[in-house]
Amino acid sequence: MTAIQSDIDIQELQKTISHWLQARLDTDAVQWLKEQDDQLSGEGEDWVFFTSFSAAPRHTTKDALELAGKEKAEAANIRTGWQPEYWSVDQLARLYLVLSIAKREKEAFLSLLDKTFVSSDMSEGVALYQMLPVLPYPGALKKRAAEGIRSNISAVFDAVALRNPYPTDYMGEDGWNQVVLKALFVGSPLYLIQGIDRRSNKKLASMLRDYAHERWAAGRSVSPELWRPVGPFAEDEFIDDLGRVLDNANKNKQYAALLALSESPSPQAKALTGQHQPLLREIGEQDITWDTIGREEHR
Protein backbone atom coordinates (compact mmCIF):
# COMPACT_ATOMS: atom_id res chain seq x y z
CA MET A 1 0.00 0.00 0.00
CA THR A 2 1.30 3.45 -0.88
CA ALA A 3 2.18 5.45 2.20
CA ILE A 4 1.15 8.99 2.93
CA GLN A 5 3.51 11.47 4.49
CA SER A 6 2.65 10.71 8.11
CA ASP A 7 3.20 6.98 7.54
CA ILE A 8 6.82 7.27 6.46
CA ASP A 9 9.26 5.22 8.49
CA ILE A 10 12.34 7.45 8.60
CA GLN A 11 14.76 4.63 9.31
CA GLU A 12 13.40 2.53 6.44
CA LEU A 13 13.54 5.56 4.14
CA GLN A 14 17.15 6.20 5.05
CA LYS A 15 17.95 2.52 4.51
CA THR A 16 16.42 2.63 1.03
CA ILE A 17 18.32 5.80 0.18
CA SER A 18 21.51 4.16 1.41
CA HIS A 19 21.01 1.31 -1.06
CA TRP A 20 20.48 3.78 -3.91
CA LEU A 21 23.63 5.69 -2.96
CA GLN A 22 25.75 2.56 -2.59
CA ALA A 23 24.92 1.67 -6.19
CA ARG A 24 26.32 5.01 -7.36
CA LEU A 25 29.20 5.88 -5.04
CA ASP A 26 32.66 4.51 -4.40
CA THR A 27 33.63 2.84 -1.14
CA ASP A 28 35.17 5.98 0.38
CA ALA A 29 32.02 8.06 -0.20
CA VAL A 30 29.78 5.36 1.25
CA GLN A 31 32.04 5.08 4.31
CA TRP A 32 32.02 8.84 4.78
CA LEU A 33 28.21 8.94 4.77
CA LYS A 34 28.07 6.09 7.28
CA GLU A 35 30.48 7.91 9.58
CA GLN A 36 28.41 11.08 9.41
CA ASP A 37 25.25 9.15 10.18
CA ASP A 38 26.88 7.57 13.23
CA GLN A 39 27.87 11.00 14.53
CA LEU A 40 24.63 12.81 13.70
CA SER A 41 22.21 10.18 15.00
CA GLY A 42 23.25 11.04 18.55
CA GLU A 43 23.42 14.45 20.17
CA GLY A 44 26.36 15.86 18.24
CA GLU A 45 27.05 19.57 17.95
CA ASP A 46 25.15 21.54 15.29
CA TRP A 47 28.36 22.42 13.50
CA VAL A 48 28.99 18.74 12.77
CA PHE A 49 25.76 18.58 10.78
CA PHE A 50 26.32 21.93 9.04
CA THR A 51 29.79 20.84 7.99
CA SER A 52 28.72 17.48 6.61
CA PHE A 53 25.64 18.89 4.88
CA SER A 54 27.76 21.51 3.13
CA ALA A 55 30.52 19.03 2.24
CA ALA A 56 28.28 16.34 0.76
CA PRO A 57 28.91 17.21 -2.93
CA ARG A 58 32.67 17.01 -2.40
CA HIS A 59 32.38 13.43 -1.16
CA THR A 60 29.71 12.21 -3.55
CA THR A 61 28.96 13.56 -7.02
CA LYS A 62 26.61 16.05 -8.67
CA ASP A 63 25.65 13.56 -11.38
CA ALA A 64 21.98 12.99 -12.15
CA LEU A 65 20.52 10.31 -9.91
CA GLU A 66 18.59 8.54 -12.71
CA LEU A 67 16.75 5.96 -10.64
CA ALA A 68 16.04 2.60 -12.26
CA GLY A 69 12.51 1.31 -12.67
CA LYS A 70 12.55 -0.72 -9.46
CA GLU A 71 13.94 2.25 -7.53
CA LYS A 72 11.21 4.54 -8.89
CA ALA A 73 8.64 2.03 -7.69
CA GLU A 74 10.26 2.04 -4.26
CA ALA A 75 10.07 5.84 -4.15
CA ALA A 76 6.41 5.85 -5.13
CA ASN A 77 5.66 3.25 -2.44
CA ILE A 78 7.44 5.34 0.18
CA ARG A 79 5.59 8.55 -0.61
CA THR A 80 2.83 9.27 -3.11
CA GLY A 81 4.11 11.74 -5.69
CA TRP A 82 7.75 11.65 -4.55
CA GLN A 83 9.99 11.91 -7.65
CA PRO A 84 13.66 11.75 -6.61
CA GLU A 85 14.54 10.40 -10.06
CA TYR A 86 14.92 14.05 -11.07
CA TRP A 87 17.42 14.77 -8.29
CA SER A 88 21.21 14.63 -8.33
CA VAL A 89 23.28 12.22 -6.25
CA ASP A 90 24.51 14.93 -3.85
CA GLN A 91 20.93 16.07 -3.22
CA LEU A 92 19.99 12.53 -2.19
CA ALA A 93 23.08 12.37 0.02
CA ARG A 94 21.95 15.55 1.74
CA LEU A 95 18.55 14.01 2.42
CA TYR A 96 20.36 11.01 3.92
CA LEU A 97 22.15 13.37 6.32
CA VAL A 98 18.97 15.24 7.24
CA LEU A 99 17.32 11.92 8.05
CA SER A 100 20.19 11.25 10.45
CA ILE A 101 19.24 14.26 12.58
CA ALA A 102 15.53 13.41 12.16
CA LYS A 103 16.13 10.62 14.68
CA ARG A 104 16.42 13.27 17.39
CA GLU A 105 13.56 14.69 19.45
CA LYS A 106 11.06 16.72 17.44
CA GLU A 107 11.99 20.17 18.72
CA ALA A 108 15.72 19.53 18.42
CA PHE A 109 15.31 18.31 14.86
CA LEU A 110 13.05 21.16 13.74
CA SER A 111 15.32 23.76 15.33
CA LEU A 112 18.41 22.42 13.56
CA LEU A 113 16.52 22.06 10.28
CA ASP A 114 15.33 25.66 10.53
CA LYS A 115 18.87 26.89 11.12
CA THR A 116 19.98 24.94 8.06
CA PHE A 117 17.34 26.59 5.87
CA VAL A 118 18.37 30.03 7.11
CA SER A 119 22.10 29.49 6.49
CA SER A 120 21.80 27.55 3.23
CA ASP A 121 23.20 28.69 -0.10
CA MET A 122 21.19 28.20 -3.29
CA SER A 123 22.15 24.58 -3.98
CA GLU A 124 21.61 23.62 -0.35
CA GLY A 125 18.25 25.40 -0.36
CA VAL A 126 17.13 23.54 -3.47
CA ALA A 127 18.00 20.22 -1.82
CA LEU A 128 16.15 21.16 1.36
CA TYR A 129 12.97 22.27 -0.40
CA GLN A 130 12.96 19.18 -2.61
CA MET A 131 12.99 16.93 0.43
CA LEU A 132 9.99 18.54 2.15
CA PRO A 133 7.54 15.77 1.18
CA VAL A 134 9.54 13.05 2.93
CA LEU A 135 10.56 14.89 6.09
CA PRO A 136 8.83 14.20 9.42
CA TYR A 137 6.43 16.73 11.01
CA PRO A 138 5.15 18.12 7.68
CA GLY A 139 2.60 20.36 9.35
CA ALA A 140 5.41 22.26 11.04
CA LEU A 141 7.06 23.02 7.70
CA LYS A 142 4.26 25.03 6.05
CA LYS A 143 5.81 28.43 6.75
CA ARG A 144 9.15 27.26 5.41
CA ALA A 145 7.48 25.99 2.23
CA ALA A 146 5.72 29.34 1.84
CA GLU A 147 9.08 31.12 2.06
CA GLY A 148 10.36 28.95 -0.76
CA ILE A 149 7.39 29.95 -2.89
CA ARG A 150 8.15 33.61 -2.23
CA SER A 151 11.81 33.19 -3.17
CA ASN A 152 13.20 35.34 -5.96
CA ILE A 153 15.53 32.49 -6.92
CA SER A 154 13.81 30.47 -9.64
CA ALA A 155 15.65 27.25 -8.77
CA VAL A 156 14.42 27.47 -5.18
CA PHE A 157 10.85 28.23 -6.24
CA ASP A 158 10.88 25.31 -8.67
CA ALA A 159 12.20 22.99 -5.97
CA VAL A 160 9.04 23.65 -3.93
CA ALA A 161 6.52 24.05 -6.75
CA LEU A 162 7.47 21.48 -9.37
CA ARG A 163 7.43 17.67 -9.11
CA ASN A 164 6.80 18.13 -5.40
CA PRO A 165 3.68 16.81 -3.65
CA TYR A 166 4.11 19.03 -0.58
CA PRO A 167 2.21 22.12 -1.83
CA THR A 168 -0.86 20.23 -3.03
CA ASP A 169 -1.01 18.16 0.16
CA TYR A 170 -0.33 20.84 2.77
CA MET A 171 -0.90 24.36 1.47
CA GLY A 172 -4.23 26.12 2.03
CA GLU A 173 -6.18 27.59 -0.87
CA ASP A 174 -4.51 31.01 -0.82
CA GLY A 175 -1.03 29.52 -0.62
CA TRP A 176 -1.83 27.04 -3.36
CA ASN A 177 -3.20 29.75 -5.65
CA GLN A 178 0.00 31.71 -5.14
CA VAL A 179 2.03 28.70 -6.32
CA VAL A 180 0.12 28.59 -9.62
CA LEU A 181 0.17 32.35 -10.20
CA LYS A 182 3.87 32.68 -9.49
CA ALA A 183 4.67 29.73 -11.74
CA LEU A 184 3.00 31.59 -14.60
CA PHE A 185 4.70 34.85 -13.65
CA VAL A 186 8.22 33.35 -13.65
CA GLY A 187 7.61 31.04 -16.61
CA SER A 188 7.69 27.71 -14.77
CA PRO A 189 5.63 24.90 -16.31
CA LEU A 190 2.24 24.28 -14.75
CA TYR A 191 2.11 20.70 -15.98
CA LEU A 192 4.88 19.84 -13.50
CA ILE A 193 2.86 21.13 -10.53
CA GLN A 194 1.44 18.10 -8.80
CA GLY A 195 -2.28 18.32 -8.06
CA ILE A 196 -2.86 21.17 -10.53
CA ASP A 197 -6.25 19.74 -11.55
CA ARG A 198 -7.36 18.47 -8.14
CA ARG A 199 -6.66 21.81 -6.44
CA SER A 200 -8.27 24.05 -9.08
CA ASN A 201 -10.80 26.41 -7.52
CA LYS A 202 -13.13 29.25 -8.44
CA LYS A 203 -11.03 31.93 -6.75
CA LEU A 204 -7.94 30.83 -8.68
CA ALA A 205 -9.90 30.86 -11.95
CA SER A 206 -10.89 34.49 -11.37
CA MET A 207 -7.31 35.44 -10.45
CA LEU A 208 -6.01 33.81 -13.61
CA ARG A 209 -8.57 35.61 -15.74
CA ASP A 210 -7.49 38.95 -14.24
CA TYR A 211 -3.86 38.05 -14.89
CA ALA A 212 -4.62 37.18 -18.52
CA HIS A 213 -6.37 40.53 -19.02
CA GLU A 214 -3.40 42.36 -17.53
CA ARG A 215 -1.10 40.59 -19.97
CA TRP A 216 -3.36 41.34 -22.93
CA ALA A 217 -3.68 45.00 -21.93
CA ALA A 218 0.11 45.26 -21.88
CA GLY A 219 0.36 43.64 -25.32
CA ARG A 220 1.95 40.51 -23.90
CA SER A 221 1.20 36.87 -24.63
CA VAL A 222 -0.63 34.52 -22.29
CA SER A 223 0.58 30.99 -21.69
CA PRO A 224 -1.90 28.38 -22.88
CA GLU A 225 -1.33 26.57 -19.58
CA LEU A 226 -3.08 29.43 -17.77
CA TRP A 227 -6.46 28.06 -18.86
CA ARG A 228 -5.93 24.61 -17.35
CA PRO A 229 -7.30 25.47 -13.86
CA VAL A 230 -9.97 27.72 -15.43
CA GLY A 231 -11.96 25.19 -17.47
CA PRO A 232 -14.18 23.70 -14.74
CA PHE A 233 -15.22 27.22 -13.68
CA ALA A 234 -15.52 28.81 -17.14
CA GLU A 235 -18.89 30.48 -17.48
CA ASP A 236 -20.26 33.81 -18.67
CA GLU A 237 -17.36 36.25 -19.30
CA PHE A 238 -14.84 33.41 -19.31
CA ILE A 239 -16.38 32.07 -22.51
CA ASP A 240 -15.60 35.30 -24.37
CA ASP A 241 -12.00 35.08 -23.16
CA LEU A 242 -11.65 31.53 -24.40
CA GLY A 243 -13.23 32.54 -27.70
CA ARG A 244 -10.49 35.16 -28.00
CA VAL A 245 -7.86 32.47 -27.40
CA LEU A 246 -9.46 30.33 -30.11
CA ASP A 247 -8.99 33.19 -32.57
CA ASN A 248 -5.23 33.04 -31.98
CA ALA A 249 -3.20 31.51 -34.82
CA ASN A 250 -1.13 29.46 -32.36
CA LYS A 251 -2.37 25.86 -32.40
CA ASN A 252 -1.21 25.15 -28.86
CA LYS A 253 -3.35 28.01 -27.59
CA GLN A 254 -6.32 26.87 -29.64
CA TYR A 255 -6.01 23.39 -28.20
CA ALA A 256 -5.84 24.84 -24.68
CA ALA A 257 -8.98 26.91 -25.23
CA LEU A 258 -10.90 23.87 -26.48
CA LEU A 259 -9.73 21.67 -23.60
CA ALA A 260 -10.84 24.35 -21.13
CA LEU A 261 -14.20 24.78 -22.88
CA SER A 262 -14.74 21.01 -22.87
CA GLU A 263 -14.42 21.02 -19.07
CA SER A 264 -16.87 23.90 -18.60
CA PRO A 265 -20.44 23.23 -17.40
CA SER A 266 -21.72 26.18 -19.48
CA PRO A 267 -24.07 25.59 -22.46
CA GLN A 268 -22.29 28.52 -24.15
CA ALA A 269 -19.03 26.64 -23.84
CA LYS A 270 -20.51 23.54 -25.41
CA ALA A 271 -21.93 25.59 -28.28
CA LEU A 272 -18.58 27.31 -28.91
CA THR A 273 -16.75 24.00 -28.76
CA GLY A 274 -19.09 22.54 -31.38
CA GLN A 275 -18.06 25.26 -33.83
CA HIS A 276 -14.50 23.90 -34.01
CA GLN A 277 -14.90 20.29 -35.07
CA PRO A 278 -11.67 20.11 -37.12
CA LEU A 279 -9.62 21.19 -34.10
CA LEU A 280 -11.52 18.76 -31.88
CA ARG A 281 -10.63 15.95 -34.25
CA GLU A 282 -6.97 16.95 -34.12
CA ILE A 283 -7.06 16.84 -30.32
CA GLY A 284 -8.51 13.36 -30.42
CA GLU A 285 -6.32 11.98 -33.18
CA GLN A 286 -3.10 13.41 -31.70
CA ASP A 287 -4.09 12.63 -28.11
CA ILE A 288 -3.59 16.25 -27.05
CA THR A 289 -3.75 16.71 -23.28
CA TRP A 290 -2.85 19.51 -20.88
CA ASP A 291 0.48 17.81 -20.28
CA THR A 292 1.32 17.68 -24.00
CA ILE A 293 0.38 21.36 -24.27
CA GLY A 294 2.68 22.13 -21.34
CA ARG A 295 5.57 20.12 -22.75
CA GLU A 296 5.19 21.86 -26.12
CA GLU A 297 5.12 25.25 -24.46
CA HIS A 298 8.31 24.59 -22.47
CA ARG A 299 10.35 22.44 -24.84
158-168 burial: b if 16+ Cβ within 10 Å, else e: bbbbbbbbbbb
Q: Identify the bridge partners of residue 64 per DSSP, sorted by sequence position.
A: 88
Across 105-109, 156-160, 188-192, least confident range: 105-109
Other C-beta atoms closer than 10 Å to the C-beta of 52 total: 23
pLDDT tens figures, 84-134: 999 999 999 999 999 999 999 999 999 999 999 999 999 999 999 999 999
pLDDT tens figures, 201-214: 999 999 999 999 99
Residue 69 reports pLDDT greater than 90: yes
Can you give the pLDDT at residue 41?
86
Question: Mean of the per-residue pLDDT values for the chain?
Answer: 95
Residue 7 reports pLDDT greater than 90: no
| pLDDT band (50, 70, 90) for residue 254 | very high
Residue 3 reports pLDDT greater than 50: no
Which sequence spans correspond to the domains of the chain? 1-171, 173-299
pLDDT tens figures, 8-59: 999 999 999 999 999 999 999 999 999 999 999 877 789 999 999 999 999 9
Can you give the pLDDT at residue 6?
53
CB 272 within 8 A of CB 243: yes
Give burial (CB, 10 Å; 0-12/13-18/19+) of 129: buried
